[in-house]
Structure 1
Amino acid sequence: MGETARVSAVVWTAAGSLLAWLWLLLGQGFFWRTDVRLPRRREPDVWPPVCVVVPARDEAAVLPEALPSLLGQDYPGRAEVFLVDDGSTDGTGELARELARRHGGLPLTVVSPGEPPAGWTGKLWAVRHGIALARARGPEYLLLTDADIAHGPDSLRELVAAAGSGGFDVVSQMARLRVESLWERLVVPAFVYFFAQLYPFRRIGRRGTRTAAAAGGCVLLRADAAVRARIPDAIRHAVIDDVALARAVKSAGGRVWLGLADRVDSVRPYPQLHDLWRMVSRSAYAQLRHNPLLLAGTVSGLALVYLVPPAALAAGVAAGSTAAAVAGGLAWLIMAGTYAPMLRYYRQPWWQAPLLPFTAFLYLLMTVDSAVQHYRGRGAAWKGRTYARPQAVPDEG
């Protein structure tokens, strides 16, 4: 009797996981598709002025590869770059000036705002300083991009054309992250896959939806929309600042578009698991609004959706339960099938798709570790700063 009850519990749990995957496959904005790229666009008759704002803290290692790509933008209108040196100790500011002297291109201004006051994250304080300087030039658009992002020569041109043609106040591209080390290949595509699952790209650009997100490495923002949404002051606490920015713009009546990039790439290496672990865990609990109930629900959800399918398949085979094995196997198959397009986008082999449960287990541990660090008072530690209680991103609802 006890064995029958255990098998029945496995069957029902596997069936629940399968139903969850059927809903994710068909009802979550087709998040798994990777064909959301820059929308159709036409070039304007007159190219609007643009200011590029780059917050940078201790970025000397990546700046030689990223900054020249911005300075070398083939943009027909007026454009200039403001690099805001956020208290670097590795010579980031001087290196930026040297790169500008060496490569030429768009005008570069390097400034430093000093330490952020209470209530501000360092990055957003730097962005605020850069936007304030940029506004004196009267730009129509602001490109907010990170110091580790390399842009194709026509990146700015394409972003501006897409924003103008589609009437978008924010056009953001999810930069293609580096996938060279073993751990990068295993973890990075899943990071983007999970992000798209939370914020389906197709829903973000659709009128009348509440879903809003952006990717902080590449955000083209209409200057007047930034004023209406009080960017960045309205989100000054946010550690997950890109999603918070998109929410603020959309709440102020703006339109937001987010998709995958073709020639916007992150050059920052994450060679070891520790590096990727820190990247995820520093903000995971902030995403859950530092709420223990949301943490428990997230852990349970990850287990049901990602860990149950292979476990149910194995348990069903061991116990001779066809129902459990079939339900678990089908759920695992759907999971792998939805992950395959992201692996293809990252030029990774298809056989990595069945490994997603293992990667999801790593993310589960990272999320729990993020909460543990928060309650130890370490919060979101990043480059020598710790934000113990950053403002979380509002719930999707």
Structure 2
Amino acid sequence: MWIAVLSLVSWVWMLLAQGFFWRTDVRLPRTGGEPERWPSVAVVVPARDEAEVLPLSLPSLLAQEYPGRAEVVLVDDGSTDGTGELARELGRRPGALPLRVVSPGEPPRGWTGKLWAMRHGIALARESAPEFLLLTDADIAHEPDSLRRLVAAADGAGLDMVSQMARLRVASAWERMVVPAFVYFFSQLYPFRRVNKAASRTAAAAGGCVLLRTHTAEAADIPDAIRQSVIDDVALSRAVKRVGGRIWLGLADHVDSIRPYPALRDLWRMISRSAYAQLRHNPLVLLGTVLGLALVYLVPPCALAAGLLAGDAMTALAGGLAWLVMAGTYLPMLRYYRQPWWLAPLLPVTAFLYLLMTVDSAVEHYRGRGAAWKGRTYAAPEAVETGEG
């Protein structure tokens, strides 16, 4: 009974005191006008073996209706599927923004592939002295006015970094079960309203869509300062806040991820590859996370069932109320993803899957296969530093 009560108290606290993480109304700031002079922008796109999604994502960038000067730099990160050649072909379409396709070669020790590609792309983009950098992934599609909206928000609100959580694909049954919960858990860990407060120490970003002032990137030594980071978007936001930059994070209406995750194994790989890195490769933090997930998400339905079977009204009531609050806080995210309400009571099942994925991430790390992505495996930062002496 007391465990069930503790779970209920945890949910009431999160409902009222965790930055209203469950609300989905944090969208691009509306400043009431547009810049008198549109700043120049360079779009940097790291891409590794993205030929499958590039025909849908890259044309959306090249077709941006932006009043100022803009160009796109796609960095082919050692692709073997013809990503670079396909990008050049797409860039030859009439009316497209200027496109440069480059390849930096394999990353040196101590760099992740994406950040090495980003470093090369940013260095090349700086040759034309852009005032803003749009860092976006190769699987992200932008509506024609996406760049215009991002720049207007950053300029009007005086922001140094604007990041939007792209709307992820929810087509398969497993995507419907897992994807909205992914964004829900992220916002629970990094409440957007706290992120967006200048005085708050909470920092986060969504790496698929980040607009960054060039001078802020230089002040924060981006990306060199975060070169070992597997979770590079959160590391980027922290680096920007450290130098006094104002950041903003919210949900997107005009930016979509088009990468499919049709099967559970695809989603499992996507989440487990970085879950243990999020826990700083610390076994004690892993243990606390597992116990916390069990208390918050698994105890409520178990307590309700146990209380009903044993005739323990208090245990059943505490468990049922906790489950009700949990489902209620999940409903706004389901509405944002246009999913049915009956998925809300199934959140404990999804949380249990995430618990297993997190444990699996730790197991793979200790087997030497942690943070593996597209043929590369990254060690923990401490291991890299030790290896370099």
Q: Same fold judged by TM-score > 0.5? A: yes
C-alpha distance 104-98 of structure 1, shift in aligned 2 (>3 A): farther
The 5-angstrom pairing of residues 210-229 of structure 1 reads 210-229=201-220
Pair 1:311-2:302 in alignment:
yes
- 1:391 CA displacement: 7.0
Pair 1:26-2:38 in alignment:
no
Counterpart in the other structure of 1:289: 280
Q: Give, in whole Å, the separation in 2 of the partners of 1:391 and 1:131.
A: 26
Pair 1:345-2:336 in alignment:
yes
Write out per-residue CA displacement over residues 188-214 of structure 1, whole angstroms, 9 at most, x where no aligned residue: 000000000000001111120001100
Q: Give, in whole Å, the separation in 2 of the partners of 1:141 and 1:102.
A: 25
For residue 81 of structure 1, give the secondary structure of its aligned residue in structure 2: strand
Counterpart in the other structure of 1:115: 106
Q: Which amino acid aligns with 1:235?
A: I
Q: Which amino acid aligns with 1:53?
A: V
Q: Given the alignment, which residue of 179, 185, 190 partners 1:188?
A: 179
Counterpart in the other structure of 1:267: 258
Poorly superposed stretches of 4+, deviation over 3 Å: none
Paired residues of 1:238 and 1:391 also in contact (CA < 8 A): no
Q: Which amino acid aligns with 1:181?
A: S
The 5-angstrom pairing of residues 1-397 of structure 1 reads 11-41=1-31, 42-102=33-93, 104-390=95-381
For residue 84 of structure 1, give the secondary structure of its aligned residue in structure 2: strand
C-alpha distance 390-362 of structure 1, shift in aligned 2 (>3 A): farther
Q: Give, in whole Å, the separation in 1 of the partners of 2:26 and 2:204.
A: 14
Q: Which amino acid aligns with 2:81?
A: D
Paired residues of 1:239 and 1:391 also in contact (CA < 8 A): no
What are structure 2's unaligned runs of at least 5 residues? 384-389
Q: Give, in whole Å, the separation in 1 of the partners of 2:253 and 2:94.
A: 24
Q: Give, in whole Å, the separation in 2 of the partners of 1:100 and 1:375.
A: 43
The number of aligned residues is 382
Q: Give, in whole Å, the separation in 2 of the partners of 1:105 and 1:75.
A: 11
- 1:358 CA displacement: 0.2
TM-score relative to the length of structure 2: 0.97
- 1:365 CA displacement: 0.2
Q: Give, in whole Å, the separation in 2 of the partners of 1:390 and 1:142.
A: 26
Counterpart in the other structure of 1:4: none
Paired residues of 1:39 and 1:166 also in contact (CA < 8 A): yes
- 1:103 CA displacement: 5.0
Q: Which amino acid aligns with 1:175?
A: A
Q: Give, in whole Å, the separation in 2 of the partners of 1:97 and 1:378.
A: 34
Paired residues of 1:36 and 1:260 also in contact (CA < 8 A): yes
Q: Give, in whole Å, the separation in 1 of the partners of 2:72 and 2:198.
A: 32
C-alpha distance 73-166 of structure 1, shift in aligned 2 (>3 A): same
Paired residues of 1:55 and 1:146 also in contact (CA < 8 A): yes
Paired residues of 2:65 and 2:148 also in contact (CA < 8 A): yes
Paired residues of 2:276 and 2:362 also in contact (CA < 8 A): yes
Q: Which amino acid aligns with 1:201?
A: F
Q: Give, in whole Å, the separation in 2 of the partners of 1:276 and 1:252.
A: 35
- 1:389 CA displacement: 1.6
- 1:102 CA displacement: 2.8
Q: Which amino acid aligns with 1:73?
A: Q
For residue 262 of structure 1, give the secondary structure of its aligned residue in structure 2: strand
Q: Give, in whole Å, the separation in 1 of the partners of 2:320 and 2:307.
A: 10
For residue 136 of structure 1, give the secondary structure of its aligned residue in structure 2: helix
- 1:390 CA displacement: 4.4
For residue 210 of structure 2, give the secondary structure of its aligned residue in structure 1: strand
Q: Give, in whole Å, the separation in 1 of the partners of 2:359 and 2:252.
A: 30
Q: Percent identity?
A: 78
Q: Give, in whole Å, the separation in 1 of the partners of 2:94 and 2:267.
A: 32
TM-score relative to the length of structure 1: 0.95
C-alpha distance 103-355 of structure 1, shift in aligned 2 (>3 A): farther
C-alpha distance 103-177 of structure 1, shift in aligned 2 (>3 A): farther
Q: Which amino acid aligns with 1:257?
A: W
C-alpha distance 274-81 of structure 1, shift in aligned 2 (>3 A): same
Q: Which amino acid aligns with 1:299?
A: V
For residue 61 of structure 1, give the secondary structure of its aligned residue in structure 2: coil
For residue 51 of structure 1, give the secondary structure of its aligned residue in structure 2: strand
Q: CA RMSD in A?
A: 0.9
Q: Give, in whole Å, the separation in 1 of the partners of 2:157 and 2:367.
A: 46
Write out per-residue CA displacement over residues 314-369 of structure 1, whole angstroms, 9 at most, x where no aligned residue: 00000000000000000000000000000000000001000000000000000000
Q: Which amino acid aligns with 2:246?
A: R
For residue 59 of structure 1, give the secondary structure of its aligned residue in structure 2: coil
For residue 128 of structure 2, give the secondary structure of its aligned residue in structure 1: coil
Q: Give, in whole Å, the separation in 2 of the partners of 1:168 and 1:221.
A: 9
